[in-house]
Structure 1
Amino acid sequence: TSALLRIDGRPPLPLRLETDVGRHSASFTADLNAFGPGAWEGVLEVADLAPTRNAFTMPLRFAIPGLQIAEDQQSVNFSAAGAGFTVRGGRSDTISVDASGISAHMTLQPGGQKHLYVRGFESVTDLGTENGWREVEAKALLEDIDGKPVTDEEVGVRLYLNAAVHNDLPAIVVTGTVENIGAERSMYGFWGWLPGAAYVTPDGDTHEWTMTYHDFGNPGWVFLPNKSADRPGVGWISGETFGESRFGTMLLYTTERKPAVATGDSLTMTFALMPALAAEEVEEMAERLREKGVDLAP
């Protein structure tokens, strides 16, 4: 009898096999040290040595909790309670819910300048574990809307992204902090552009996209069913202001749209993302986050 494990397009992984002919049973052991934290999917293939080759395949899913910072410090893989998340130094996929294939990224506009985006990470620091939360902090490098790299001094801001997971919760909590190192001025920041087949609010209503820019206040959370029926949707939890874009995607703004930020002060936004199949899961997660010390209520 032979057995192989095929996981996420990697080379087949041979398994150590122990059989008990009398009991018609077998056990398989795999060395998964090469796999970092995250949610993994694969197929177990087992075949005997008969001339007609009797065989079967079985889907396999497993998760390795924790986090792993890439050697180049341009990404961090998280895994918690069976859910995987990736934080990247990328303009359009900064925070990803792996199972959903959906990402969020931040747009920043200090004092009417050109819009700014993440273009990479200058550094990523593992802040360790406190009260069950494992956290990292990434210092972002920025570029303008035209893709031109800019320095913090040129634009007068520093952007930090903090991301944390708890082993008991299939969610990631993100805080974006924009430090004003220039003169006092307005600071405009928002996250987006999360797609969905529609969106559901805490009142239970399912909303079709209006295909216009349309804010609807601070409901506390929204559920975005995935456009792909075979993948989970996304729950987005925050006390900030949610709104639609004209492209049929979800945005999250600061409650005060363009607050004045003094020199040395900061603009912050905090939210949680999670894979979800139903709105009830998102509602439950908002409560579980509160129990773990993260209150994202409006």
Structure 2
Amino acid sequence: MIIVANMSTEQLNEQPFSQFEQEVVQKKEDSPVVYRYPSLEALKFELKLRANIVQAAKDLYASRVDFAVFSKSRSNEQFWTRTPEGGFRLNSGVRPSDGINDIYRNGRMYAFECATAMVILLYKAVLDTIGEDAFNTHFQNLLLYTWQYDDDLRLISVDNKNEAYLGDILYFMNPDYNPQTPEWQGENAVMLPNGLFYGHGIGIKTAEEMIASLNRRRIPGSDVSAYLSDEVVHPDFEHIRRLASSENAHSEREKQRQRRNAIVVRIGNSPYMQVFDG
């Protein structure tokens, strides 16, 4: 069930949601879990970010980035420095937005594990949602590695796959993975429309195809199947919305400050503005 402050169910149902947004809204409406939003803008922000997560996943797949274990990861050294653990730290002087966008533009220069892929596409989605100015302000000193090394997205984990929605990240567990290839003990995957998932290293597949792919990487002779676990991960949508709102408020205050400090004179028939700092 969805509850939006100061809005009735009838008013919510009258909103011109896209097909993607309507699918998320309808599933949440039908859920026994109560989803509360402080405003319609908060709900719309989440829907926009979810749509951008899905698009970022598809675009990362199309970028031709490679899969590699941490010990063999690689990146564009113009933007990133590889850490001893196999992660990527943003180079000094590089804008965070430029670093993330380069992965999508020059995918063949990059190789990383599936957990790193999830962190990257989440950053890309946030960038595309809140814009470069806010992203570069609030997401400095990026380290692309695993969930444990990321806290600025404030990732939220829920153990209930029945409450997974488009744009959420789920985990396919492979309990009998081959010890010689521990990277296939499971697969992080973004939930896409039409019953599909994106998992780095496997591609865009149905849940059944994801499981079949992991089963081919089990201990020889094993009959213990991989499966979709209950874990569901998504960023703290409201936290990110507040970051964007605070940046917009700051920009508006700066514009007002410049207007207060501006002197407008007329040269011929054209106005000319001179802005003084202070």
Query: Please, what TM-score do these two structures have when normalized by structure 2?
Result: 0.27
Report which of the two has the higher share of strand: 1
Q: Which structure's residues are more often helix, by fraction?
A: 2
Bigger RCO (CA 8 Å, 6+ sep): 2
TM-score by length of 1: 0.25
